[in-house]
């Protein structure tokens, strides 16, 4: 990409899209095309096609998605598969129809089988059953990968797929039921501290292991890959490091300054036992994450405090 290339970020108001937008702007890219969901409904095929016909973006970061944690994924199963399937299909097809130079599709580590060997290598895709609680979302993301591969195979399009690990950071979702584990814990410990609650209950056993990547690091990786990666196969983006949910909770508890007790509700689902990305392919290209987990959580907590009213 040149600094004046026309770049469309689908989902620029989300955590990932917002991080990509900030990274591009801070690095001198000056021709960004942006639309809010009220200005452009990405589920509307004709509206998306008209937008591409009028704007003719050269590079597309496909970060728009309906996202949520275990409870949201399991509750809104139809919404998660329908909205994500139709958004990505509309954008990928329009990018092809209107001669985009390149498209980067953002997936998720949940595409891998529930019991896949660890760490998760790119070739483990479609080698076993998915985690049932987020299967609809995962299938939609797998379809996006296959769409990119199919348009490359049939039409020679330079469409690439990037699979980030669990993300957190500026502009995260802190909804008490529908958020992911890390932002949910930030909110719960903060509210427990204010209310001087004697204990906080964590969903599940605390034993599953998870990897977390600061969204600003992902943005840097996405621009790096847009400029340097043009392979058919998907590529993982992560830290290559993980910790248990219990360890994560203790870390967040310390950063927030909560002094009460941790309890674990084993009646709630744990999800996949472990999700650690193999990032050797990405590191061989010359990229590695910058932000340590404790540093990133401190920044995320400060962002939560700045936006506490909106998070309620």
Which residues make up each annotated binding site for substrate? 188, 203, 210, 270
Distance CA 21, CA 33 (A): 10
Hey, is 156 helix, strand or coil?
Answer: coil
Helices (H) and strands (E) in the chain, counts: 11, 13
φ and ψ at residue 6, rounded to 5 degrees = -85, 115
Binding residues for NADP(+): 11-17, 106-109, 141, 164-167, 180
**Cα angle vertex 103, ends 98, 106, to 5°?**
135
For 66-121, what is the HEC assignment? CCCCHHHHHHCHHHHHHHHHHHHHHHHHHHHHCCCCEEEEECCHHHCCCCCCCCEC
Catalytic residue list: 137
> Is residue 247 a contact partner of residue 205, using CB atoms and an 8 Å limit?
no
């Amino acid at each position: 990409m040149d600094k004046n290339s026309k770049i469309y970020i689908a989902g620029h108001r989300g955590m990932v899209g917002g991080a990509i937008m900030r990274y591009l702007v801070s690095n001198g890219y000056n021709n960004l095309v942006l639309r809010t969901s009220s200005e452009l409904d990405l589920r509307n095929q004709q509206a998306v096609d008209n937008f591409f016909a009028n704007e003719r973006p050269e590079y597309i970061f496909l970060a728009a998605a309906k996202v949520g944690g275990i409870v949201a994924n399991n509750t809104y199963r139809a919404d998660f598969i329908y909205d994500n399937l139709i958004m990505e299909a509309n954008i990928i097809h329009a990018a092809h129809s209107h001669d985009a130079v390149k498209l980067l599709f953002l997936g998720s580590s949940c595409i891998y089988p529930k019991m896949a060997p660890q760490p998760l290598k790119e070739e483990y895709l479609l080698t076993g059953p998915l985690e049932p609680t987020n299967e609809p979302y995962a299938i939609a993301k797998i379809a996006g990968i296959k769409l990119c591969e199919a348009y490359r195979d049939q039409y020679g399009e330079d469409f690439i797929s990037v699979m980030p690990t669990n993300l957190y950071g500026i502009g995260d979702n802190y909804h008490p039921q529908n958020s992911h584990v890390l932002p949910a814990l930030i909110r719960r410990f903060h509210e427990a501290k204010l209310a001087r609650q004697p204990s906080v209950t964590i969903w599940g056993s605390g034993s599953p292991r998870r990897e977390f990547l600061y969204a600003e690091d992902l943005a840097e990786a996405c621009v790096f890959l847009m400029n340097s990666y043009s392979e058919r196969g998907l590529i993982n983006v992560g830290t290559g490091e993980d910790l248990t949910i219990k360890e994560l909770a203790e870390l967040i508890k310390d950063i927030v300054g909560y002094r009460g007790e941790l309890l674990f509700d084993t009646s709630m689902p744990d999800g996949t036992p472990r999700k650690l990305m193999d990032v050797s392919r990405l590191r061989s290209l010359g990229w590695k994450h910058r932000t340590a987990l404790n540093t990133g959580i401190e920044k995320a907590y400060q962002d939560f405090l700045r936006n506490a009213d909106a998070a309620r």
